DNA sequence: TAAGATTGAGTACTCAATCTTG
DNA sequence: CAAGATTGAGTACTCAATCTTA
């Protein structure tokens, strides 16, 4: 009765925990690429990835696309502008917003890290195999749906 | 040629990013249970879950079991002791270590949050279905394997 | 008044250094 | 000197408040 009960909660079978472990393991495995080589934080790398994909965005657009907090984006963008990775221009249609875009240097970083990211991703998918990868991606999409609350 | 290329990196198909999105969505969904109701951080809740499962551990044991950083554990444990959730006792066999265990109050918290966690987990698995859940858990285990490096 | 964006204050995290015991 | 555990300093995050324009 007082021994480890099969009715007791086991963190090791809790999906949010298992998801976090896999997310951290795979994120840490890729971290050296943007961190050691380019001195970027994960937030900065994600902003570069979004600007590289969409071409130009406002800060709010980056927030929506990446689910990064607006204060993180604001501070990261300021530093990335100072480092010459992106440029800011007033938004023609909305005086409150600013149009953010990668500079040539930022695009070069995107191209280089992006290539390594695709290679890293392929390696992960190879480890899983095609069927398991498809099943995983589908499950993650279901779990990522934002519920009202 | 300069339009969004199909050869360019897409964060939305990058497994570490997708894993992070799902991990955050599911973690945030459960957060109110330990945070609002008991004023616990995720680290504190994880420590309770580990002590609840294993009965008693040293700080290093918690680190190994949960992959939480040792300084996080040290500071969380100090605060949890002050709040009466766990107790410390000198380890008989090793004068450097301390044996950590839940108090009656800590066990009550574990029982209550644990029950809600199992319910939350069941709901997630129901959303996925049995086959998808099994495939997901297996894939997460593969991706969580710590690689040398 | 709301939305885009920034700032300030408090908290928490990260990394190295430290203390104690094996 | 290595291992368990804690502490300090610097950085980053979180949440509320603020500023400007729609």
**Minimal CA separation from B147 to chain A, in Å:** 8
CB distance A59 to A100 below 8 Å: yes
User: Which strand D nucleotides have any atom less than 7 A from protein CB atoms?
Assistant: 3-8, 12-16, 20-22
Q: Is the CB of A98 under 7 A from strand C?
A: yes
Residue A149 has pLDDT above 70, yes or no: no
Residue B87 DSSP one-character state = E
pLDDT band of A146, cuts 50, 70, 90 = confident
- Best CA proximity match to A79, nearest among A24, A41, A50: A41
pLDDT at B147: 72
Q: Which residue is nearest to nucleotide C20 (CA to C1')?
A: B96
Q: Give the tokens for residue A97.
A: 């917003």
Q: For residue range B86-138, what is the model confidence (pLDDT) as tens digits? A: 999 999 999 999 999 999 999 999 999 999 999 999 999 999 999 999 999 99
Q: Determine what percent of chain B is predicted with pLDDT higher than 70.
A: 95
Q: Distance (Å, rounded) from C-alpha B36 to C-alpha B19? A: 26
Q: Give the tokens for residue B23.
A: 């991990």
Residues 45-74 (A) near nucleic chain D, CB < 7 A: 69, 71-72
Alpha helices in B39-69 (DSSP H): 42-54, 59-66
Q: For residue range A62-106, what is the model confidence (pLDDT) as tens digits? A: 999 999 999 999 999 999 999 999 999 999 999 999 999 999 999
Q: Distance (Å, rounded) from C-alpha B111 to C-alpha B84? A: 16
Q: Which residue is nearest to nucleotide D19 (CA to C1')?
A: A96
Q: Distance (Å, rounded) from C-alpha A106 to C-alpha A90? A: 19
What is the value of pTM for the model shown?
0.94
Closest chain A residue by Cα to residue B48: A11
State whether A8 and B53 contact (CB < 8 Å): yes
Residue A141 has pLDDT above 50, yes or no: yes
pLDDT at B148: 58
State whether A144 and B115 contact (CB < 8 Å): no
Collect all residues of chain B within an 8 Å Cβ-Cβ radius of residue A16: 23, 26-27, 29-30, 120-121, 124
Phi and psi, residue B147, nearest 5°: -90, 150
* Mean pLDDT for the stretch of residues A35-55: 96
Q: Give the tokens for residue B82.
A: 């002050």
In chain B the first and final C-alpha atoms are separated, in Å, by: 38
Q: Distance (Å, rounded) from C-alpha B50 to C-alpha B73? A: 12
Residue B4 DSSP one-character state = -
Q: CB atoms < 10 A from the CB of B101, how many?
A: 16
The three-class DSSP label of residue A51 is helix
Q: Determine what percent of chain B is predicted with pLDDT higher than 90.
A: 92
Beta bridge partners of A88: A100
Alpha helices in B1-149 (DSSP H): 15-38, 42-54, 59-66, 70-82, 104-128, 130-144
Q: Give the tokens for residue A113.
A: 């890290």
Going along A79-142, which residue ranges are E strands?
86-90, 98-102
The three-class DSSP label of residue B145 is coil
| Chain A, chain B: beta-carbon pairs less than 8 Å apart | 170
């Amino acid at each position: 009765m007082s021994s480890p009960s099969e009715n007791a909660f086991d963190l090791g079978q809790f999906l949010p925990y298992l998801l976090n472990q896999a997310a951290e393991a795979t994120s840490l495995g890729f971290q050296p690429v943007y961190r050691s080589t380019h001195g970027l934080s994960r937030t900065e790398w994600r902003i570069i990835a979004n600007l590289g994909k969409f071409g130009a965005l406002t800060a709010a657009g980056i927030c929506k696309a990446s689910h990064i907090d607006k204060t993180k984006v604001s501070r990261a963008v300021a530093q990335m502008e100072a480092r010459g990775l992106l440029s800011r221009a007033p938004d023609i249609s909305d005086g409150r917003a600013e149009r953010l875009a990668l500079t040539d240097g930022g695009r070069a970083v995107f191209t280089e890290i992006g290539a390594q990211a695709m290679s890293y991703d392929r390696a992960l998918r190879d480890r899983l195999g095609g069927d398991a990868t498809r099943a995983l991606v589908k499950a993650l999409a279901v779990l990522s749906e934002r519920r009202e609350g």
